[in-house]
Every structure is written in structure tokens, then in C-alpha cells.
Structure 1
Amino acid sequence: MRLHIITSPYYAANSLVIIPQPLEGTAPHAVVVDPSAGILPQLKATLEREGAVLAAVLLTHGHPDHVWDCARVASWGPAEKQVPVWIPGPDRYRLVDPAAYVNNMPARIELDEWVCPDDLRDFPAGSCELIPSLWMKMLPAPGHTEGSALFLAHSDLDVYADGQLIASSELPIPWALSGDVIFSGSVGRTDLPGGDETQMRHSLRTISHAVDPRTLLFPGHGPATTLQAEIDTNPYVTRARRIG
């Protein structure tokens, strides 16, 4: 599995390109995660460099800095066919107008007009083969938004940031897309519409007790971390484990 991290100028949101090992005799397929604004050339260049065919787009939640260019990226499917765009069901309503649910927070970059994807789908409960050779399990984790979730996987992994290899494991390891649920040393804010501080505490408590602490986390902002590191040092996780 190859994972590329590309950071957007739109609130420094992390977008990702995930490319599983292709089946024998087939071209590699890819998933683009959280296609933010301002990085279309980098996303396309990554797919082209990998010789990968876009097969799906995955949105960890519905905030505009994580979804803004999802329809444009989805149009890069084979023969310019729109690929499916997956999102946790409780956040699907946000894609009518994502900017309407962030209290008019300024984007601080110039945004193209919002376009809703044609083929928008709810990510199914439980495990799902999102594309060939990429199984992910959604763990609902509301608090930042109603549909916020972790997406759990287990595989060998090569991780690239700015084109440079930053982590590698030839053996299968647990890893997860943590969106804006949990960051290195912090968590997603809960004061925007749909946020709930109590739900966030419950989600963090559940994650810290139910998910393998060795799990490598790829958050929606900031550097990668591990769940164990957050259990040990993140004050929000410590508080959640103490009072729930």
C-alpha cells in the first residue's frame, strides 16, 4: 500500500492518495481522500506518477476544507466518468452547501464555485472493500461533526509526504484515517454547527479503548501520529478517558 500526503493551503488540510498493490495484470487503482482546495495539480501529478486509475473519492467528514474539490477530482475517472464519492451518512446533507455550516469562516484562499458530486454515496457500516485490495472499516466518532469517523485499515505501508518517503513497513500494520477527530496533541473543534463536546469525549474514550494502540493515525491536519502517543500525551484523550 502506498499513501501520499498532500497538504492544502485551505486551513492546511491533509489530502491523501491511497494506492493498494494492484491485482496481477491490472493497473493500480487509487482513492483520493479529502480533496481540499488549491492542490488539484499535485493530486493529478501523484496519480500520473503512480500510473494509477482513480476509482473512488473518500470524505472523512463534510467540512469545506476537506471536500471542496471532490466533484472535480471525481471527474478524473476512466473515460472522464465520475467515480463514486463516499461520505459518512450523517454528514451527507452538508454537501448541498458545505460553507453554510462553518459560521462563515473565511477560506483565506480563492475558491472556485462549489460543485456537488454526481455520485454521492453513504459509506456503509462495518467493513467495505472501497476499491480492489483496499478494505476499510468505518468507526463512527461524532463530536467534530455528526458524521465524523475513523477509517481503519491493516496492510503493509509506504508513506510519502511532499514526494519523500517518511515511513515504511513491509509487514502489515494497523493504520487509520482520523480526519478531524484526533490530531497529534489535539482534537477537532466542537464549536461549529453539528459539533458536540460531550459526543467528542465519548468518541475519544471509545477510540482509546477499542482501537489497537499501535495504530498509525493520519489526521486531517498536522503530522501523522500513533494512537498510543495520543493516549500517553494528548490532554483531550486523557480527559475523555478520565470523565468520558
Structure 2
Amino acid sequence: MDTQTSILDLTPHGSIDIECVVNGPIETNTYFITSKGEALVIDPAWDGEALVADFSHRHPDVELRGIVCTHGHADHVGGVAGIRRALGEETPFVLSGEDVPMVRANIDHQRQKWGIETEDPGEPSRLVTEGDVIAVGDVHLQVVATPGHTPGGVVLFAATEDGPVAFVGDTLFPGSHGRTDLEGGDEGAIMKSLAKLGTVLPPETRCFVGHGPATTIASELAGNPFMVRALHEHARREGR
């Protein structure tokens, strides 16, 4: 990861509608993204059946095609099982293979530490890694590996006709980054991931985060001390 070569296709593909539903006791941002009558749900935190019912009521002509999770923490996968009950067990569930081993342990940890019960999402139907593409309508979500918050954390980037967007999970927050003191966290890895995002994503990229308000790469390059430090460390490693 030290060599920040852009792997991304920056050619705009299609138009996208983005809806955010704040979901569950930890107030996770669950996103519905729609293109050409098809939709995906990103990071369904809790009560998947209610999420499906609400979305389908508001968008009766849109087909909800699958589930993508940016990482395997319980507050980002807790609604998967309910969505699959509502839509059918064959509904695609996409996750990085690096996070599969930690899902069950994190659910147990959340119950023991905070008393929050979360459904096991079951086995993913597709495991993704760096460079993979997930299509919805005519939009292409490109997978960018961003370990640190978890071993298999990913960012989902799309160059669209409405401008570039990224669903960054808990890797990046306005002025900060995701915790590294939870299961699978790695401070060194997340700093490299921040440098990667600051290098390969266009500055105008709108970043939709796992909790709280959205930001842009330009804003973080200007005002996020962790990203600034990460980029300085990257430049030093590269001898620049």
C-alpha cells in the first residue's frame, strides 16, 4: 500500500441517487443507492425487514438488488439477516473476506460490553478485495482496500455523472478517522489508508461516512490533521 498508484477508473458512469437512513442504537448511517431502477443497501445496521419495508414503500418501482458492507463490525452488518428474510435468502451479501473471521466475535463483544443484541448476518455470498467492481444500474462501485479500523475495511468509490462519491464506512470521518482500539484495529494501517484515500480519490469526492455528516476529500486534505500527517509520512517513506 505504500505506493499510492491510482487503481481507479475516473471516467463517469451513470447517475446515482443516495439516501441516508440513520439506523440502530449506535446511529449508523445506512445508505440506499439507486441507479436505473436498481438499488443496493450499504451498511444496514439493524432491523433489516423494516429498512426494506420503508424503502419499498417509498420506491415501489425500484428493485433492491443486494447488500454491501464496508466492514464487519456488528453495527454495520446487523440488518443483513432481516433484509435477506424480506427479500429472499439468495439476496447477495458482499463483504471483504478479511473481515469474515471477526464478525461473530464482534457481535459477541457488543452484546457483552453494551448489552446490544445483533443478528448474525450469515455467510457472505461474495467476498471482495482491492480493484473489484460492484454494479448497480449503470454505476460502478470500485472497491478500495482500507484496512485499519478492521482488517478488511473497504471504501466503495464511484465516478458518476453527478460527481465522484465514496462510501468510506468507519475509515474516515470529518477531521478524524475510525477507532483502532476495537477488534482488528491497527493504527499504522489506518494511517496508510488515509494517505491512500488522500492520494487516489479526487479532491471533489463526496465522502459518505459510517456515522455523522458527510465530507469531501478536499475538506479533509485542508483540515484533517490525521490525513495531513498520514500524507507527510507517506511522502517521507517515498523519499519525497
Instruction: Please say whether Structure 1 and Structure 2 have the same fold, judged by a TM-score greater than 0.5.
Output: yes
The total of aligned residue pairs comes to: 218
Which residue identity does 1:73 align to in structure 2? Answer: I
Q: Deviations over 1:21-47 (max 9, x none)?
A: 2xxxxxx22111111025742442123
C-alpha displacement of 1:120: 2.8
Name the SS for the 2:83 alignment partner.
Answer: helix
Q: Does the 8 Å CA contact 1:6/1:43 hold for their aligned counterparts?
A: no
Name the residue aligned to 1:227. Answer: 217
Aligned to 2:21: 6
One-letter amino acid of the counterpart of residue 133, structure 2? C
Partner of 1:74: 84
Over 3 Å counting, the alpha-carbon distance change for 1:237 and 1:101 in structure 2 is farther
C-alpha distance 124-140 of structure 1, shift in aligned 2 (>3 A): closer
Q: Deviations over 1:175-234 (max 9, x none)?
A: 000000001121100011211001111111111112111100000011111011011111
How do 1:10-29 residues align onto structure 2 when only pairs under 5 Å count? 10-21=25-36, 28-29=37-38
Read off the aligned partner of 1:58 and give its amino acid letter. Answer: V
RMSD: 2.1
Q: Mind listing any 5+ residue stretches in structure 1 that lack a counterpart? A: 22-27, 157-171
Distance in 2, matches of 1:190 and 1:154, equals 29
| AA in 2 matched with 1:208 | G
Percent identity over the alignment is 28
Higher relative helix content: 2
Closer, same or farther: CA 132–31 of 1 in aligned 2, 3 Å:
same
- List aligned pairs for 1:13-52, cutoff 5 A: 13-21=28-36, 28-38=37-47, 40-51=49-60, 52=62
Query: Given the alignment of the two structures, is residue 139 of structure 1 paired with residue 144 of structure 2, yes or no?
Result: yes
Offset at 1:127?
4.0
1:24 maps to what in 2? none
Q: Which runs of 5+ in 2 are unaligned?
A: 1-15, 235-240
Write the distance in 2 (CA, Å) between the matches of 1:65 and 1:184. 19
Match of 2:231 in 1: 241
Deviates further, 173-182 or 120-129: 120-129
TM-score (normalizing by structure 2): 0.82
